[in-house]
Structure 1
Amino acid sequence: MKVNIKSWTAVAAWRWDMPEDDVCGICRSPYDSTCSKCKYPGDECPLLWGECNHCFHAHCIFVWIRAETSHGRCPMCRQEWKIVAKVSQD
């Protein structure tokens, strides 16, 4: 018996290389979703990982850090915010 495939539609999904938490600590949206500034998830708003081991959408943490009341500190642990890595999409 021989089977001929006449058409095939591929479906793909992607996910961030996730940190321990599954939501951004600022906007509370899932990492593989969009932040409040984005229309689509992906490279336009990567995840940024800080020295303190907390991770946020790029737009969220940039808005947070620019706020005068943040004093340049992580919103979760209040340590000085320093970017260690940009979490890439696989």
Structure 2
Amino acid sequence: MKFVKGQDVFYTTISGRSYKATVIERKMDFKKGLIIKSAGKTHDFHYLIEIQKNGMKEKILCAGYDLKIPEVKIEEAKKAA
């Protein structure tokens, strides 16, 4: 699934915990050289997101499969269709 800048999503960590997040940038929008393959993982990063954790904002590079659309938004889209 493709996400857009400014979209509200849920980010799921490796441990399985989810956080509300906002998409800041997409891979195709990054400046050249900013996004590289992860040294510890076998996937590329596709999104720069911002999460709010313990009252602090944190920016994270992640792959698309780490993100989900909030259920409320999915239900609203189904009703509109």
- Taking structure 2 as the reference length, the TM-score comes to 0.27
Larger radius of gyration: 1
- Greater helix fraction, Structure 1 or Structure 2: 2
- Taking structure 1 as the reference length, the TM-score comes to 0.26
- Greater strand fraction, Structure 1 or Structure 2: 2
